[in-house]
Structure 1
Amino acid sequence: MRLELGFGTGTQPLTVPDENILAVLKPNQVEIGLTGADEVRRALREPIGSRRLSEIAKPGEKIAIVTSDITRPMPSALVLPPLLDELAQAGCRREDITVVFALGSHRPHTEAEMRRLVGDAIYERYRCVDSDPADCVHMGVTDRGTPVDVTRAVAEADRRICLGNIEYHYFAGYSGGAKAIMPGVSTRDAIQSNHSRMVEREAAAGSLDGNPVREDIEQAVSCCPVDFILNVVLDEHKKVIRAVAGDVVRAHRAGCRFLDTLYLKEIDSRADIVVVSQGGAPKDLNLYQTQKALDNAKHAVKSGGTVILVGSCREGFGEKTFEQWMTTAPTSHSMVERIAEDFQLGGHKAAAIAMVLEDAEICLVSELDEKLVSEIFLRPFGAVQTAFDYAFEKHGTDAKVIVMPYGGSTLPRVRG
């Protein structure tokens, strides 16, 4: 079988003997109705657990629209126009609306990146800003002790509208919903407090009830209320195939249920070799983002197996603390020990990689320097086929193989 795996803005070819393939985890076939902007408009007309946005917003109110940064595939340029039309129906003025890019712990945007995210017309007609962790308002504390410190443009708004795409998240359960606030527009200390719960067993992909990270996130919005969300689910071509709008929890849960019908993949057994791609740009911009595909792949690989992680990582590590942990650790296991005693945002990603290394070898197909990759306990390759040939020789001609072309989205679960 010949496959093409996303890699940066292009693809990489892979050929696997048919008899060795256990599964190729592509999205399930589901019935799709409207798509793209038409589906977004339908969701806005049919909000879940809420009145229409045009009935909620009032003329003269200061409105903050929180949307994703450049590391996310959220199609803000497509989603924003129908949303802004709803606000116009409510009599809201352009000068009262601010689009806030939720950076979380990521780097600020260039002007060109902001324009690309929302489109020239919106960028030139509306105020568009990055969240600023240095200018936040303290709005409360969750029961778990997480400070709710929110960037001023959002904290001081009369109405808060959160956008996002829903996919699996390796410890928050799913992306989307209240994540636009926490960690989206929060301080590093707040994010660190929330994410420290990732080491708890219930903090896992596809988990909502009892997930301490997700519960903490959603309690944060009791301090910083969200008036309306508009979330989308994308197919493997990053096309909107479902939109949900309305209440920050109820609409989000409806989106999560649809995601499961699309991307939850049952498998008969784990494989000796798992080949996983983050799906290409922008998801594989750096190793910090590419790690998400690895964390889904760990559910499909046998103990002692090999994961071939495919991601361009052309911007390097993507986060300073993550880089420091990865490049200074004496052993991979030392990062597992360290995170239990000294949780640090950024270090949590390093520990997540190290936890996979406890049970499997990781081959990284990337644009990173091979010496650097070797120093961070991964085996470097420039081509996925070369990496596969290495793993195939290692595990033998009877090796079973699972391929995950959209690893950041698809979540394997062994039947039973």
Structure 2
Amino acid sequence: MVDVPLGRETISIELPSCAVTTAVPEGGDEIDVGAQARGEMADPLGRPLAERVTPDDQVAIVVTDVTRATPDDILLDVLLAELDRGGVDREQVTVVIGLGLHRPMTDEEIEAALGEHADLTVNHDPDRTRTVGTVEDCPIEIFEPVAEADLVCSTGMVEPHQYAGFSGGAKTAVIGAGGEAQIRYSHGPEMLARDGVRLGRIDHNPFRAFVDDAGDALGVDFCLNVTHGPAGITGVAAGEPRNVVESLAATAREALSVEISEEYDAVVAGIGAPKDANLYQASRAATYVVLGANNPLRDGGRVVLPARLPEGAGEGRGEQRFYDKLSAAESATALYDDLRSGYEPGTQRAFVLARALREHDVWVTNSGCPDLVEDCLLSASDRVAEAIDPDSDVLVVPDALNTLLV
């Protein structure tokens, strides 16, 4: 019996006729986020934040949305204290929820995530942007309150990311508070086909380089980021965005890597909240398995995703584009071939999922919307055991989005 997450709970998987292997990374040790963050702010990777501001500055802090389990309330406590030390009053700060093309957060969600800082907060609006520069001939469009700020900070979760290698750094502001131009360009088929754009890699990764250069164009001055593993938050870093990502990616890579030497008939990829809220986010687990550094599946093997999906495919602009493409496609191969010529932002998740589906079937179990799942070229079942053939060799990855199979 193996436990995997489902929403904010767990379910036990029993596969009595199967040979089951579990991939659990070492995970590192949980830290006191507030204490560690204050220590890192006192000795940052670059010039201290308090020395970067003047008392007249207007400051924008871009934070993560409900798709990231970042302790933004604690990080904001530390950032605001440091800005106060530099002479910047709380009223001079705007906190922007970095949505990208995800749905806006509700007032209740903002209150739960940011607590006493909720009154400073606005949702990003991708239709209300200013161009702050260009990178690779792509205009960098940024939400007006961020583009107009005298100083820009961001929080972030440095965790494995399909395209950036690891998320965090300038990406929170550039994509989270960005317009469609750079999202379309950076997530388009030409970029995603480049050598080096892959899970777990930041060096010589064109996607990561684009995001970092766009951060320079915007002027992302300072980041306070965390990383995490099965135990919880395992690291904090503050300072220059590139240095922060490099430091925390090294911490994450050591904590999250699991060496795989066998091949399997099925991989059960655990997700849990907040990523299993919708199919757009949950599908990441399948592509992390199939398109990661070491695909553990045999030819004809399948990925099984236990996911609640209370939001269905997802409610944001990007999620709806993802659903529209998948639900209208005749096959994964036809969809992949169609999207290679280009697509709207958000559809990149359909493109990458179609790429994985050309090689392996994906089953979603335990969801509240099996018909929607099957509309999207996937298979649905009520329980994990129903999605796996008897006598299979099975690899269970309880935290698939935070496990690097190498």
TM-score by length of 1: 0.91
Instruction: Find the residue that maps to 1:353 and give its secondary structure.
Output: helix
Q: 5 Å matches for 1:173-322?
A: 173-196=165-188, 197-236=191-230, 239-278=232-271, 280-298=272-290, 299-318=295-314, 319-322=319-322
Give the CA deviation at 1:305: 0.4
Q: Is the CA contact (8 Å cut-off) linking 1:13 and 1:384 kept in structure 2?
A: no
Is the contact between residue 28 and residue 263 of structure 1 (CA under 8 Å) also seen in structure 2? yes
Kept in 2: contact 1:13–1:385 (CA 8 A)? no
What CA deviation, in whole Å up to 9, does each residue of 1:351-396 have, x standing for no partner?
2222112111211114243333223221101222332xxx232xxx
How far the C-alpha of 1:33 sits from its partner, in A, is 7.7
Q: Which residue of 1 aligns with 2:367?
A: 367
Name the structure 2 match of 1:97: 93
Query: One-letter code of the match for 1:356?
Result: A
Rounded Cα–Cα distance in structure 2 between residues aligned with 1:264 and 1:188: 33
Aligned residue among 69, 73, 83 for 2:69: 73
- Asked if the contact 1:327–1:376 (Cα under 8 Å) also holds between the matched residues in 2, the reply is yes
**Aligned partners of 1:93, 1:54: CA distance in 2, in Å?**
12
Q: How far is the alpha carbon of 1:84 from its aligned partner?
A: 1.3
CA distance in 2, matches of 1:343, 1:106: 17
Runs of 5+ unmatched residues, structure 2:
none
Instruction: Please give the alpha-carbon distance, in whole angstroms, between the structure 1 residues aligned to 2:30 and 2:7.
Output: 30
**Structure 1: how far apart are the matches of 2:195 and 2:382?**
35
CA distance in 2, matches of 1:246, 1:232: 12
Q: Is the 8 A contact 2:65 2:98 kept in 1?
A: yes
Q: Report the 3-state secondary structure (helix = DSSP H, G, I; strand = E; otherwise coil) of the residue aligned with 2:175.
A: coil
Q: Can you give the 5+ residue segments of structure 1 that lack an aligned partner in the other structure?
A: none
1:89-147 CA-to-partner distances (Å, cap 9, x unmatched) read 1121011011111010111121111111111x2224xx21111212111111102x321
**Equivalent-residue separation in structure 2 for 1:79 and 1:104 (angstroms):** 20
1:31-70 correspondence runs (5 A): 32=29, 34-48=31-45, 50-70=46-66
Look up the equivalent residue of 2:97 and give its one-letter code.
F
- 1:241 and 1:179 map into 2 onto residues whose CA distance is 20
Deviation at 1:34, TM superposition (A): 4.1
In structure 2, what is the equivalent of residue 12 of structure 1? 11
Give 1:236 shift. 2.3
Partner in structure 1 of residue 25 of structure 2 = 27
Shift of 1:209: 2.2
Contact kept? 2:276, 2:309, Cα under 8 Å: yes
Cα deviation for residue 266 of structure 1 reads 1.4
1:18 Cα shift?
A: 9.5
1:16-56 per-residue CA deviation (whole Å, 9 max, x = no partner) reads 4597133x2222154x48422111112212211x1222222
Q: Which amino acid aligns with 1:268?
A: S
Query: 1:339 and 2:339 equivalent?
Result: yes
What is the rounded CA distance, in whole Å, between the counterparts of 1:123 and 1:349 in structure 2?
30
